[in-house]
Amino acid sequence: MHPDHPDITADMWSPIDESIHKNRPVPGSIITVLRQCQDVVGYLPVELLDYISEGMNLPSSDVYGVASFYSLFSMEPKGRHTIKLCLGTACYVKGIKEVMSRVENQYQVKEGGTSEDRRFTLQGVRCLGACGLAPVMVVNQDTHGDVSSDKIINLLEEYK
């Protein structure tokens, strides 16, 4: 019986079931199943983890353990765009904290979280290796240097 979940649509169940079915006999394949299911749904809701542990015949504590250990997996929904703000020393000195507050207030999103409209996921990260451009923001694959709390909103408005 498939659990009800607003983010898991009817057509997603067939690739999920297929992944479980194919991998069930393979020892140590839980990472593969979690990866494939996350590709289908976008993240791993708790209801899906329960369904996977049942299907794979594994204790749910094991499945939760794997899902929370690897940073590749997310148990929270992700935004359409991921904003990474560098909290390394050079960026810190150049005022990244102010930029962070501006983004948090403008889009009602907390560091480490996702805005309610799922537009942005906001992450504070360690030095991105581009200190010459401090303060640095990366949105998806785009690097933006010398960002300030004044110009950041204009930049982010490009990402719908």
Which residues of this chain interact with ligand FES, rule CB under 6 A? 86, 88-91, 127-131, 134, 136
Q: How far is the CB of 137 from ligand FES (least distance, A)?
A: 10
Decide whether 12 or 131 has the Cβ nearer to ligand FES.
131
Other Cβ atoms closer than 10 A to 121:
20
Please identify, using beta-carbon distances, which residue of 33 and 99 lies nearer to ligand FES. 99
Looking at residue 78, the DSSP 8-state letter turns out to be: P
CB of 100 to ligand FES, least distance (A): 13
Give me the residue label for tokens 């393979």.
Answer: 26
Please return the burial class of 154, using the count of CB atoms within 10 Å of its CB with bins 0-12, 13-18 and 19+. Answer: exposed
Q: Which is nearer to ligand FES, 86 or 100 (CB)?
A: 86
Q: Which is nearer to ligand FES, 58 or 139 (CB)?
A: 139
Q: How far apart are CA 130 and CA 128, in angstroms?
A: 6
Shortest Cβ distance from residue 106 to ligand FES (Å)? 21
Between CA 129 and CA 69 the distance in angstroms is 25
To ligand FES, the closest distance from the beta carbon of 104 in angstroms equals 18
72: exposed, middle or buried (Cβ count in 10 Å: 0-12, 13-18, 19+)? exposed
